[in-house]
Amino acid sequence: MRLVDLVKRFGDVTAVDGVSLQMPPGEFFSMLGPSGCGKTTTLRLIAGFERPNEGQILLDGVDMAQTPPHKRNVNTVFQNYALFPHLSVEDNVGFGLKYKTLTKQESREKIGRALELVQLSGYERRRPSQLSGGQQQRVALARALILNPDVLLLDEPLGALDAKLRKRLQIELKALQEEVGITFIYVTHDQEEALTMSDRIAVMSQGRVEQVGSPEEIYEEPATAYVADFLGVSNLMPATASGMGDGGCRVRLGDFSLVAGKGEEDTMGDAKIVIRPERVLLEEQGTAGENRVPGMVERVVYVGSVIQVFVNLAPGERLQAWVQNTGAGLPFASGTPVTVHLPQEALRVLPDAGTPVSVGAGFGEEET
């Protein structure tokens, strides 16, 4: 599957603005971004529910941009599953087979294999109302997979489930994709979902693709301040860069000189520096050394596996550090003076492209 310079306009609004992506066969590919970023519209263009104003949708080298949905070898699983409430599980799964030249025995065998694949053997006679949310999601998957599509499109199919079930089904869905070996294109605003399941992720904003890469690349090596701010929790701070030096880029955070070992090392002038909270080290007040800034603990939040420590730095920036929970109690109290170590190899510098909208959500913070 390949998208080439895809554009979709709704009146004066450009929902998809020149998107070009390539999804190799058998890949779990996620489009990640906040509401209104163009990810669902892009999915609908691939499915054929919308027609692009410009660009190509190539499936096996053939442009499908103007091809009706029923003539594309793709299937879609929606967030609400779109199951027929009056039909049994068996009839829901086998609905698409009505248009295939199969005997009843062949249809039953295919339905049985599809239900076995999603671990719902024995549920053939139940109605959707008799199933849990997770089971309904599996029925929708079986119905989509039974037609052997080249590409399966998934529009936030786990969004309506509770958190614990959603985490379990993330693992199951990735395992299922590996078993069937077809391309999954997954739309989500949930960063953890994308990181957990994807082979590659496209982070989208305002109809454009900000960055494409593996989960590790996107998280560890964000290309823009927007990606750094959106994916996971990050400490993004304004700084002034003075170019290369000491094995990285020399930057100033207020009156303090630091070296960022990652990112655009030749950056000059206004910049952003970013560091993940798990890479921030908190030390005793007065600890000497490179890349250290004094601060004051503002708040400590216990969230189970980690402890969040919010620190006000001397230059005026607010920073978050994650301390591993060892069972020894809270490591700091509010008002404790500390030295904050920002390791050179964990500090990244990015050219300043304006202040991004803060849309990331982390432990103990409500997602927007």
Instruction: Tell me the domain boundaries of the chain.
Output: 2-220, 233-351
Q: Residue 286's pLDDT is what?
A: 92
Lowest mean pLDDT of 89-98, 181-190, 195-204, name the range: 89-98
> Does residue 247 carry a pLDDT above 50?
yes
The residue among 45, 5, 34 whose CA lies nearest residue 188 is 34
The span from the CA of 212 to the CA of 200, in Å, is 7
pLDDT tier, 363 (very low <50, low <70, confident <90, very high otherwise): very low
pLDDT for 161 equals 73
> What tokens appear for 305 in the block?
């596996």
Which pLDDT belongs to residue 206?
94
Confidence of residue 7 (pLDDT cuts 50, 70, 90): very high
Of 225, 223, 254, the C-alpha closest to 360 is 225
Structure tokens at 238: 């304004």
Instruction: For residue 353, name the pLDDT band (cuts at 50, 70, 90).
Output: low
Entry pTM: 0.84
* pLDDT attached to residue 362: 38
- Of the two residues 158 and 201, the one the predictor is more confident about is 201
CATH of domain 2-220: 3.40.50.300
Tens of pLDDT, residues 8-17 = 999 999 999 9
Topology of domain 233-351, per CATH?
A: OB fold (Dihydrolipoamide Acetyltransferase, E2P) (2.40.50)
State whether residue 228 is helix, strand or coil.
helix
| More reliable by pLDDT, 362 or 210 | 210
Query: Distance between CA atoms of 91 and 85, rounded to whole angstroms?
Result: 11
